[in-house]
Amino acid sequence: MAIQELTIRTPDDWHLHLRDDALLQETVPATSRCFERAIIMPNLTPPVTTAAKAEAYRQRILAAIPAGQRFEPLMTLYLTDQTSAQDIADAKVAGVVAAKLYPAGATTNSSAAVNSLERLDPVFAALAEAGMPLLVHGEVTDAEIDIFDREKVFIDRHLSRIVAEHPQLKVVFEHITTADAVEFVQQGPERLAATLTPQHLLMNRNDLLVGGIRPHNYCLPILKRATHQQALLDAVASGSSKFFLGTDSAPHSQSSKESSCGCAGCYSAWSALELYAQIFDNLGVLDKLEAFASEHGANFYGLPLNESRLTLVRESWTVPERIQLPQGESMVPFYAGREVQWKLKQPS
């Protein structure tokens, strides 16, 4: 008989975009309903490039947590060509837990990011010394490189060197999308791990392009072939501690997605944990969800496991077609209008 109810240790989201200002009133409650901690992406406008900016941002997030909910934002530093080893030391003292590497132009709000990865070797060394992981958006941005090949080229051209030449550096290869990335992480040292998103586990590029362009399924790294999707599914089904939950949930207004140059990102915060449960259930490995969602990431970051627990129940519900944003605009969430088979059980 199929499992009807599943209680697990409260999970964490190891890759999350909350944005800022009024949007925090939407994104923070959506996250804190089921995640106790989250790694907060620093690609604001302007980006979070110093310890002082990280602390100020953290305070704005804390102010948006609903009464009665527990949530700890884990702050990150946005790397630029000007980032120094001293910036890393200052961030460590301030409680920043990791640094984020965006190749310049790779994704939303990354224009101020890194143009020359080789020049950041002193920063990578400082991160290793501080015990702070390097979080990597792993794509090259060269115009001549096919967008479906950019993750693989980044591994060959950059990430393999960084991992090899900095033997004490912890690296999280974020939102991986290809069989090449899965193989690279599996064959790499224990200090190399990866996050996987619900959209890359549930979809492939047919879901973006067949029957017309579907802008709300457009994310970066872009959805890949079904064979790559299967490699990601195999990775999470394996139960390997090198893979853990990172939603990459990223809010964008409906108008900014449905424009002549629509932005990248899927907002999954209101359904992500339930979708992961559905994925693991479909794979027949529901018993491995807790480790993926609640243990592997914390262990990799050297943080204690959460002590609280939550319960998911097998109950069908439909993701809303739209969400109203605080500024008056609307947003189409990931999986809008589609049925989900698991639901977070609310405390009685």
Q: Considering the chain, what is the average pLDDT of its residues?
A: 95
Amino acid present at 25: Q
CB atoms within 10 A of CB 101: 26
pLDDT at 114: 82
The catalytic residue positions are: 248
Average pLDDT over residues 59-63: 98
- pLDDT greater than 60 at residue 48: yes
Structure tokens at 41: 């992406």
- Which residues carry a binding-site annotation for substrate? 17-19, 43, 137, 220, 252, 264
Mean pLDDT of 39-64: 97
Whether 321 has a pLDDT exceeding 80, the answer reads: yes
One-letter identity of residue 112: A
Q: Are 154 and 102 in contact (CB under 8 A)?
A: no
User: Which two three-digit tokens encode residue 109?
Assistant: 């709000």
pLDDT at site 103: 87
pLDDT at 115: 84
**Unique residue bearing structure tokens 């907002």:** 267
pLDDT tens digits along 203-262: 999 999 999 999 999 999 999 999 999 999 999 999 999 999 999 999 999 999 999 999
* Pairing status of strand 309-318 against strand 5-9: antiparallel
DSSP-derived secondary structure letter, 100: E
Task: Report CA torsion sign: 129, 135, 138, 140.
Answer: negative
Please state the pTM of the whole predicted model. 0.96
- Cite the annotated binding site by residue number: 15, 17-19, 43, 100, 137, 175, 220, 248, 252, 264
pLDDT of residue 107: 67
Task: Decide: 17 and 265 in contact? Cβ < 8 Å.
Answer: yes
Name the percent of the chain lying above pLDDT 90.
91
User: What domains are there in the chain, each with its CATH number?
Assistant: 11-309 (3.20.20.140)
* pLDDT tens-place string over residues 192-215: 999 999 999 999 999 999 999 999
Give the model's confidence band at 110: pLDDT under 50 very low, under 70 low, under 90 confident, else very high: low
